[in-house]
Amino acid sequence: MKPMKIFAACLTAAAAAFVTSCNDWLDLAPIDYYGSEGYWKNEAHATGYIDGLHNHLRAHQFTHVTTFGDLRGGLYKTAVAVDGSALSYGDIITQSFDADHPGVSNFANIYGRITNCNLFIARVEDNPDYPIDAARKNFYLGIVHGLRAFYYFDLYRIYGWAPIRTGVEVIDGELDPNKLYVERSAPSVVAKQIEDDIEASLNFFGNVNDFDPYGFGYKHHWSKAATECLAADFYLWQAKVTTGDHTATGPGGSDLAKAKQHLQSLERNYGLALEPSFANVFSTGNKTNDEVIFALFYDENEATNNNGIWLCQNNAEVCGAGYDEDGERITTEYFTEKFTSFNRQDIEYKVDMLLQYDMEDSRRLATFFPVYKKGVAGDGEDPDRLYLRGSLVQKNIGHVSSTSGQRVFDGDIILYRLAWVYLSLAEVANMEGDNASVQHYVNLVRERAYGADWNEQKYGYSPSDFKTNELAILMERTKEFVQEGFRWYDLRRMKTSPTGGPETALVFSKEAAIEAGLLGKADGTAADGTPTLLGYKLTPESSWRAALTSSEDYKVLWPLDKSLLNNEPVLTQTPGY
């Protein structure tokens, strides 16, 4: 019998992870045998492998940030973009999931990445005689355990129940199917694995708060600060989200206290500071600035990111026919510059997202480029009026090369930054009933956004009851982190009651919808939006396969694809699908 499919690609994946980063490996034994005696001989091998693990993480970033973290957040249009292109990812955006439309397949290939981490642990941590400096070894193991926790946290939030694999049986030639096939573990077991790796990572890092003691690239490789971000993210999730046999521990539990501890450490111990200018956080000339905690490296001469899919690139025929907010024909370099090739726009935010910002909020035009059209009398429109046609992302879109004259998408993908710490501290404070801290942390972020226009009485947040605060923090996060992969997870984690059950998650709230409050009713009151998922009704059972009776509550988790289920006899489908 063949080994488990989700690990079948591990040899190729792990080889690819390090073969790209070290030329002297060409003199080693064939890379197919990296798991045996042909590799793992010296410190340079371990160092090269660490570099390769980050290359593999970078290859996962679009799935982690956009597919998992953003597309399901109720922010995106479907059907046709402003440039006339057919938009992509419709099944995910509209929550149209089943085994035939799983969103991603094969556990998003995360297990190959996990096995790469397992291999380093097996060859370096489990070998006390491995020839490497002890301090460097500990730092590397802090990285690897942090990365493995990061991947399992993705699996936990996406699937709830997930196989646990911490060994390298496939690489070492194990053929016994009873050892290779792995069932999905309960959420509490997956959570324990994440927690164990987080604690191991922090223990290995010890007192080393330096982002880059071994010259990998400042803030471009995992660090103790990155593990503390992940720890805060994980423990806040555990405090607020119920998944299967894990019940949210609530405002008085140890999980919330741990989240706060790590967030306060990030605030105080790493020399971080907000950039004065929001736009400058993402400038290619200001990488790894004081606000950044961990970012994935891109460069004109090394690798470029996926952010071109947000741009209107059919500029000559469609976008160039638009108008700016002053009623002038758009002639800016955003539309007229050359691209290396035509690449249609795949993703576009709803105009409702643009309308969330005050005109004085610097994030508005640092994030979006509004496109208007003039009214057409024959269509019942006022020909002297501009109508908002769409909003295009202009955040983190790289730069125009002085060499080629073409746009290069070389902005770093920032996974954690200080503004995230502040708004997470606001969320913790709301759970604690600490309105003064809610106000403090939300307004730290708002003050930077408004810059010279900042007026706390006019633009500052005045705290209220728990639900009002939670919705305000959600909206602040949504405006701050466009394109950064937090919206779907925020909707799932944030709640209308600090002690409420799963049914109080904002993913089921009409008030959390991006359209809420923007369209007025006839009586002058604000209209409700459509919740991201409809309804929550759970009939409890002792089995983890509880009877799900509403139409969409089961969709907080993702289904497994049919191919995986057909090939792996021990795997069962996610409840509800």
SS3 of 417-448: the string is EHHHHHHHHHHHHHHHCCHHHHHHHHHHHHHH
**φ, ψ of residue 185 in degrees (nearest 5):** -80, 155
**φ, ψ of residue 349 in degrees (nearest 5):** -75, 150
| Nearest-angstrom CA–CA distance, 528 and 530 | 7
| Nearest-angstrom CA–CA distance, 74 and 67 | 13
Residue 386 β-bridge partners:
374
Sign of the alpha-carbon dihedral angle for 116, 119, 124, 125: positive
Instruction: Please state, in angstroms and as integers, the Cα–Cα distance from residue 535 to each residue in 399, 549, 551, following that order.
Output: 44, 10, 7
| Nearest-angstrom CA–CA distance, 387 and 370 | 10
Q: Where are the domains of the chain?
A: 226-294+414-500, 307-411
- pTM score: 0.91
Q: What residues in the chain have per-residue pLDDT under 50?
A: 1-34, 36, 316-317, 336, 521, 537-550
Question: What is the pLDDT at residue 522?
Answer: 52
| Nearest-angstrom CA–CA distance, 175 and 409 | 44
Question: What is the pLDDT at residue 519?
Answer: 54
Question: What is the pLDDT at residue 8?
Answer: 30
Question: What is the pLDDT at residue 196?
Answer: 98
Question: What is the pLDDT at residue 11?
Answer: 35
Question: What is the pLDDT at residue 16?
Answer: 39
CATH fold label, 226-294+414-500:
1.25.40
Rg (CA), the chain: 24
Question: What is the pLDDT at residue 403?
Answer: 87
